[in-house]
Structure 1
Amino acid sequence: MTTSHQEHPPLSGATLALGSLCVGLAGFMTVLDSSIANVAIPTISGNLGVSGDEGTWVITVFAAANSVSIPLTGWLTQRLGQVRLFVGSILLFVIASWLCGVAPTLPILLTARVLQGAVAGPLIPMSQALLLSSWPKSKSALALSLFSMIVVTGPIVGPALGGWVTDSYSWSWIFYINIPVGLLSAGGVWALYRHRDTARKKIPVDIVGLLLLIVWVASLQVMLDKGKDLDWFSSTTIIVLAITAAVGLALFIIWELTDKNPVVDLTLFKERNFLGGTVSIAVAYGIFFGTLVLLPQWMQEYLGYRAVDAGLATAPLGIFAVIGAPIMGKILPRSDARIIGTCAFIGFAIVYYMRSFFYTDINEGFIILPTLLQGIPMALFFAPLTVIILSGQPPAKVPAAAGLSTFARMFFGGIGTSIANVIWNNRTILHHEILTNQSSPTNPMFNQQIDAYHSLLHLGQGASYALFDQVVQKQAAMMGLNDVFYGSALVMIVIIPLIWITKKPRKSAAGSDAAAAAH
């Protein structure tokens, strides 16, 4: 990533401002697309005639494909050059977005989302590299703070914009809006940066490792997404997928540790800082992203929120994150990143614990408050942990370390979404069964409720029982979601020791690289 600094002078004036805007738009578009679909899942599921659980595949397959393509960024950069790779990825992303919008069925939509996630892999790393090459070295911290603010606005704009577009037009437009943004970004970057491209050279690619990576990631993701529908390990399909994922992972690890040019450098996990930092950031991001998907889904399915209202209720997440990004850039170099990371996990735990007390007729303000507060640990989360991950790495290994940690984070984001849905569904079924068992003609409260339906709503016995079952289901779903939030709070506390098996990061240039990879 540093070659562009050495070969080309930084931009200045209006050219610098326009170049930063065009590069930042690509990063913004990528992050926006990972969050804009969250509030549209119930609508997409209904329009395509599939269940809400199947609808979440729109999110998980994007994350899985994105995570698989990230390790290829370094190889593609050397084969194609930074600018060609960046512009090509943007244009392919635009095409994939159009295919998502016109998809008439879920399988076609998922295929388009896989393509979209795969071509999005290089966009964030390359946008950071191009941005760093545009600014003077002395102002790299300012450049990265600006980029962080651009990227972090995704959680603010994404849900609200996605909800408004879905309610006002159709869900297809959450993908169509990428087209003008992508074309503007690609055109601007090509006009300003095509003469600043990095040198190209032919280097070998680990095809076997890449294929094994795709096999075990895809098998695991499909197993988690289809497990509930196929009744888990009573299904031959799930058993085959589980075996394929396990064998594929084992072969992948063996191959990558013995190949001369591995697609993923697993030897990085020998370093304490990389191991502790990567595992903690991946698990925490999986929890964060999984619960971020569940919240608007619950609000629409059980509280009757419109998509736009669910989006506005989750949008405050990014407010403190945006405010805190430049502040963190100044505090981090003078602080112990382990302490800041610990504060982030404690902050996340507090937010999830607050959410574990939600109830069915909750006021919107009580939903927004923990979402707003969650922006504080978000501001304390990415940069310190990435400083820990990259600290002590030789310069030659920094790109590989940043790429592998990003892969782990994105992979766990998709896995976390699937696991959160599975746990919510299982806990909802359990609570529904318990509540139903307590509701019998021998229970005076049950009889009183049924009588109220008779007298106040003039419902017959069958209609009264059906209405009561809806109330029970709503309560069970609420209790199941509270269990997910409570478990998330516990896991955030449990993974704190992972930060403290690491050594205190040295104050070095790794800080700038960490900030670049943080988002």
Structure 2
Amino acid sequence: MELAHREPAPLQGGQLALGALMLAMANFLAILDTTIANVSVSNIAGSLGTSTSQGTYVITSYAVAEAISVPLTGWLASRFGAVRVFVTCFILFGLFSILCGMATSMNMLVLFRVFLGFSGGPLMPLSQTLMLRIFPKEKSHAAIGLWSMTTLVAPIMGPILGGILCDQYSWPYIFYVKAPFALAAGFLCWQLLRRFELPTCKLPIDKIGLGLLIVWVAALQIMLDEGKDHDWFESSRIVTLGIIAAIGFVAFLIWELTEKNPVVDLRVFRHRGYRSSMMTLALAFGAFFAITVLTPLWLQIYMGYTATIAGYSTAMMGVLAVFLAPIIANLASKMDPRPLVFAGVLWLGIWTLFRSHANMDMTFWQISLPMLFQGIGMPLFFVPLTALALGSVLPREMDSAAGLMNFIRTLSGAIATSMVNTGWERQTRYVHAELAGLTDQSGMAGRAMSLSGASDGQIRGTLDWLLQGQSVMVATNHLFMLIALLFAIAAGFIWLAPKPTHAVDTSAVH
């Protein structure tokens, strides 16, 4: 029996490279799917004969299902085995991607997106823990760096890839393109990783905990997605969803903390290092996601960029992060990670503040270069934070801790998206109203356009468009200032974590 439980030797050489690539791909594809459909909603809705507002359910359905399945990862891995769950979800992810592309109605597409979200959710935390399991102890920093790199780059790449596929081909290809990679990689992962399977534990299903999780997460996600369209709490629908989410969340917390075999192990929050890391993650990743949502919207709607070019500009943030992630992971394994996290989050905030002085006359490179340098902060923040969080929990709590970490990241991204869209719209209206009385008070611009042959309607339209563009620019800069402040607050939270007594070693976590 002793031999059966012995940890297998890590992978070496080509097998290690292939295994790492497959695991990184799983994480990349699952996160990519959260943003790849964002720029294609109008095309999908038009093709399937529904409104754009109904088309947003393509995004919502995946986000809700993923948010529900991510925190269940720890229980699923204990009950059925991490490798079995990972491979099954990976193959199902490929199959449901094909079915999404073949959908002939919005209802069918939303249903398949729900199943796609359920399949994709566990891929993120399990790819993280399996990466640590297959790497030799002395190379664990490379595992953290590789996984973190895909986590940061995937949400930026989603709109670019989605825009290119939608513009050059048609919307089903944003789903088809992932399928062959997922199916082939799922098969290879089973061949490579099945010897790393740990003994399972026949835990009973916490049906009440699962039910409460589904209720409050679904209510919260739908509230966040529909709030702006229904004027938030002026709508009885949004109020009802908010009450359901709040009551469901409190009931879920009470139940899970008192249940003997909880479906989500919230007890990992008793570790101060993990708790403080999650506070920093929630604020900093929310701020990071807010700027990645806001930037392409501004570039496309008011700067005249195509979805593809706006995507290229936004993707600049990921260029340096790709190269720096393994280096910073190595550094984080040899020193106290807290100063690295602090420096990374503060760096993101400083460059966000720098970008809050933008104007409508900026060129592509004037917009993109600050984002290139800002990207240095991404691996500085996320890589050592991941190492600190995972190094703060017990080995048996790894799957639960990784699942909750991904859940918090997913939820903070959803909340940030909703808040930044609402805040941008409201601030634009406010600035527009303030500037309207100050525009062309002398009437010189109107007379000049009138002399050139423009009608009164054309003059008003032109002035209003110029005014709207400037209002959006001022509103965007104001939001960037607020986001920079949020980064600064997030940076401070990391000092609540205790100083590690030794370099954080996540290779010992299984």
**What TM-score, normalized by structure 1, do the two folds share?**
0.88
Q: Deviations over 1:259-305 (max 9, x none)?
A: 11222333433443222211111111112112212211221122221
My pick for the range that moved more, 130-139 or 359-368, is 130-139
CA distance in 2 between counterparts of 1:316 and 1:372 reads 5
Cα drift, residue 475 of structure 1:
2.1
CA change 1:483–1:95 in 2 (3 A) is farther
What letter matches 1:455 in structure 2? L
Q: Deviations over 1:17-67 (max 9, x none)?
A: 333333332223223333434554565577678887876665455344323
Cα drift, residue 425 of structure 1:
1.3
- Answer yes or no: is the 8 Å Cα contact 1:62–1:113 preserved in 2: yes
Aligned to 1:317: 317
Aligned to 2:330: 330
- Does residue 462 (structure 1) correspond to residue 470 (structure 2)? The answer is no
Aligned to 1:451: 447
Cα drift, residue 132 of structure 1:
3.5
Q: Deviations over 1:323-360 (max 9, x none)?
A: 11111122113332221111112111112112212222
CA change 1:130–1:15 in 2 (3 A) is same
What letter matches 1:462 in structure 2? G
Tell me, what secondary structure is at the counterpart of 2:501? coil
Cα drift, residue 183 of structure 1:
1.6
- Does residue 491 (structure 1) correspond to residue 491 (structure 2)? The answer is no
Aligned to 1:478: 473
CA change 1:222–1:453 in 2 (3 A) is farther
CA change 1:417–1:433 in 2 (3 A) is same
Cα drift, residue 379 of structure 1:
1.1
CA distance in 1 between counterparts of 2:52 and 2:419 reads 14
CA distance in 2 between counterparts of 1:473 and 1:51 reads 26
- Answer yes or no: is the 8 Å Cα contact 1:60–1:415 preserved in 2: no
Cα drift, residue 427 of structure 1:
0.9
Tell me, what secondary structure is at the counterpart of 1:348? helix
CA distance in 1 between counterparts of 2:414 and 2:460 reads 38
Aligned to 1:345: 345
The alignment covers a number of residue pairs equal to 508
My pick for the range that moved more, 24-33 or 355-364, is 24-33
- Answer yes or no: is the 8 Å Cα contact 1:93–1:116 preserved in 2: yes
My pick for the range that moved more, 172-181 or 467-476, is 467-476
CA distance in 1 between counterparts of 2:203 and 2:319 reads 43
- Does residue 423 (structure 1) correspond to residue 419 (structure 2)? The answer is no
Tell me, what secondary structure is at the counterpart of 1:385? helix
Q: Deviations over 1:462-515 (max 9, x none)?
A: 22212322222222222222222111001111233311222112325644478x
Q: How does 1:41-80 map to 2 (within 5 A)?
A: 58-59=58-59, 61-80=61-80
Identity among equivalent pairs (%): 41
- Answer yes or no: is the 8 Å Cα contact 1:39–1:297 preserved in 2: no
Cα drift, residue 371 of structure 1:
1.6
Aligned to 1:168: 168
Aligned to 2:379: 379
Q: How does 1:77-476 map to 2 (within 5 A)?
A: 77-103=77-103, 109-149=109-149, 151-154=151-154, 157-194=157-194, 197-439=197-439, 443-444=441-442, 447-456=443-452, 458-476=453-471
CA change 1:412–1:481 in 2 (3 A) is same
- Answer yes or no: is the 8 Å Cα contact 2:48–2:104 preserved in 1: yes
Where does the alignment leave 5 or more consecutive residues of structure 1 unmatched? none
- Answer yes or no: is the 8 Å Cα contact 2:64–2:217 preserved in 1: yes
CA distance in 2 between counterparts of 1:216 and 1:346 reads 33
Cα drift, residue 461 of structure 1:
0.8
- Answer yes or no: is the 8 Å Cα contact 1:256–1:265 preserved in 2: yes
CA change 1:323–1:350 in 2 (3 A) is same
Cα drift, residue 370 of structure 1:
2.2
Cα drift, residue 164 of structure 1:
2.2
My pick for the range that moved more, 406-415 or 38-47, is 38-47
CA change 1:272–1:156 in 2 (3 A) is closer
Cα drift, residue 423 of structure 1:
0.8
Cα drift, residue 415 of structure 1:
1.3
CA distance in 1 between counterparts of 2:228 and 2:273 reads 37
Cα drift, residue 228 of structure 1:
2.4
Tell me, what secondary structure is at the counterpart of 2:6? helix
- Answer yes or no: is the 8 Å Cα contact 1:163–1:308 preserved in 2: yes
CA change 1:495–1:139 in 2 (3 A) is closer
- Answer yes or no: is the 8 Å Cα contact 2:428–2:471 preserved in 1: yes
Tell me, what secondary structure is at the counterpart of 2:376? helix
Q: How does 1:10-29 map to 2 (within 5 A)?
A: 10-29=10-29
CA distance in 1 between counterparts of 2:199 and 2:15 reads 22
CA change 1:288–1:41 in 2 (3 A) is farther
- Answer yes or no: is the 8 Å Cα contact 1:155–1:318 preserved in 2: no
My pick for the range that moved more, 351-360 or 263-272, is 263-272
Q: CA RMSD in A?
A: 2.9
Cα drift, residue 429 of structure 1:
1.6
My pick for the range that moved more, 248-257 or 505-514, is 505-514
- Answer yes or no: is the 8 Å Cα contact 2:217–2:245 preserved in 1: yes
CA distance in 1 between counterparts of 2:129 and 2:269 reads 24
Q: How does 1:20-39 map to 2 (within 5 A)?
A: 20-39=20-39
Where does the alignment leave 5 or more consecutive residues of structure 2 unmatched? none
CA distance in 1 between counterparts of 2:10 and 2:423 reads 50
CA change 1:12–1:265 in 2 (3 A) is closer
CA distance in 2 between counterparts of 1:68 and 1:4 reads 33
Cα drift, residue 394 of structure 1:
2.9
Q: Deviations over 1:206-262 (max 9, x none)?
A: 221222122122212222222222222222112211111111112112112211122
CA distance in 2 between counterparts of 1:357 and 1:42 reads 31
CA distance in 2 between counterparts of 1:51 and 1:273 reads 46
CA change 1:425–1:114 in 2 (3 A) is farther
Cα drift, residue 98 of structure 1:
2.8
CA distance in 1 between counterparts of 2:47 and 2:460 reads 29
